[in-house]
């Protein structure tokens, strides 16, 4: 009887604990992916960030007790990240936040983070972009490529020269995209740690074909942590150049090369014949004068 009585008590306690536990809702932390940045205005020593209206209404409503963080993670080695904290009463009406004390003409991961609370959950999120501060003349940049030119276009090859200005490690991938070809030539990949001129070559192309545009993918090989401790890495920038890159027709290309060779030979012949002509003219004139004197 005593054992049965104790077992009944245990069953009652277990049922009571399960009912009480079911009525308790524990707070959960949820990470969401949402766009927070509407526009970023770089300055010489910082950034002014305009936030999206929908983001403000959904995630920064004062009733949610939100907190907003902005972090600038530098690409240059041995420099530390800079962070600032904001609360709704300082940003909800202005819709903008600022960060300063950054380096001039420097690249950064710029991250907006937030956290808010409702009755049962805590919500967090991050929106990061790559930006550069202005230089001393007030000029900005959305790519590390400062100059690009097509050095040779033939019936079977494209050649380009790219100037990349960096002071941090970066992977640069050049590819042809958007043409009417079933397959594109392999991409050209470069690892750069300092400013350099890169020669990009796409050989073995088909004559008289459209290969689209030259696209440059830039991936800074830099990582860093935000104010909330999130690791940021692997972000990229991409920009395309030229339109409707087309190889030359093979026969016309060969004709042009032969014509060019003939033209060079003719020009060389003309260049050589002029001095000879004037030399003969002078000699004949002198001979005439000497004969006349006799």
> What pLDDT digit, counting tens, does each position of 222-244 carry?
999 999 999 999 999 999 999 88
Contact between 49 and 112 (Cβ < 8 Å): yes
Top-confidence residue, 212 or 16: 212
Give a three-class secondary structure readout of 77-116.
Answer: CCCCCEEEEECHHHHCCCCEEEECCCCCCCEEEEEEEEEE
Across the range 121-134, mean pLDDT stands at 93
| Residue 267: exposure state from Cβ atoms within 10 A (0-12, 13-18, ≥19) | exposed
Strands 67-74 and 82-86: antiparallel
Give yes or no for residue 171 having a pLDDT over 70. Answer: yes
Q: Report which DSSP code applies to 217.
A: E
Q: Decide if domain 26-132 falls under CATH 2.60.40.10.
A: yes
Helix (H) or strand (E) holding 237: strand 237-241
Give yes or no for residue 165 having a pLDDT over 70. Answer: yes
CATH architecture assigned to 145-241:
Sandwich (2.60)
Helical spans, DSSP H, in the chain: 2-23, 53-59, 88-91, 250-293
Give yes or no for residue 30 having a pLDDT over 90. Answer: no
Q: Give tens-digit pLDDT for 239-266.
A: 999 988 999 987 555 545 444 544 554 4
Residues in contact with 59: Cβ distance below 8 Å, sequence separation at least 6, in sequence order:
34, 36, 66, 114, 116, 123, 125
Give yes or no for residue 16 having a pLDDT over 90. Answer: no
Query: Which residues of the chain are in CATH 2.60.40.10 domains?
Result: 26-132
Give yes or no for residue 267 having a pLDDT over 60. Answer: no
Sheet holding 96-99, edge to edge: 37-43, 46-51, 96-99
Across the range 8-23, mean pLDDT stands at 50
Across the range 259-277, mean pLDDT stands at 50
pLDDT at residue 254, as a whole number: 52
Q: How far apart are CA 84 and CA 68, in angstroms?
A: 8
pLDDT at residue 158, as a whole number: 96
């Amino acid at each position: 009887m005593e054992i049965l009585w104790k077992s009944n008590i245990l069953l009652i306690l277990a049922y009571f604990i399960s009912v009480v536990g079911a009525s308790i809702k524990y707070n959960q932390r949820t990470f969401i992916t949402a766009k927070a940045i509407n526009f970023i205005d770089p300055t010489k020593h910082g950034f002014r960030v305009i936030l999206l209206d929908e983001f403000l209404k959904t995630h920064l409503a004062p009733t949610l007790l939100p907190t907003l963080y902005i972090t600038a993670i530098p690409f240059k080695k041995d420099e530390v990240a800079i962070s600032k904290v904001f609360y709704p009463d300082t940003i909800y009406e202005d819709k903008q936040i600022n960060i300063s004390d950054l380096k001039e003409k420097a690249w950064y991961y710029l991250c907006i983070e937030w956290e808010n609370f409702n009755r049962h959950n805590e919500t967090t999120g991050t929106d990061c972009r790559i930006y550069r501060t202005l230089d001393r003349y007030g000029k900005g940049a959305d790519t590390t490529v400062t100059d690009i030119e097509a050095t040779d276009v033939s019936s079977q090859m494209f050649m380009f020269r790219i100037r990349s200005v960096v002071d941090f490690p970066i992977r640069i991938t050049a590819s042809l995209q958007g043409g009417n070809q079933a397959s594109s030539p392999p991409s050209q990949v470069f690892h750069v740690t300092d400013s350099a001129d890169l020669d990009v070559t796409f050989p073995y192309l088909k004559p008289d074909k459209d290969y689209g545009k030259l696209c440059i993918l830039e991936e800074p090989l830099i990582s860093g942590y935000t104010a909330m401790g999130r690791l940021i890495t692997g972000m990229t920038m991409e920009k395309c150049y030229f339109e409707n890159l087309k190889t030359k027709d093979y026969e016309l290309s060969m004709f042009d090369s032969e014509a060019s060779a003939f033209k060079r030979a003719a020009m060389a012949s003309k260049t050589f014949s002029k001095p000879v002509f004037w030399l003969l003219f002078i000699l004949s004139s002198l001979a005439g004068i000497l004969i006349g004197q006799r």
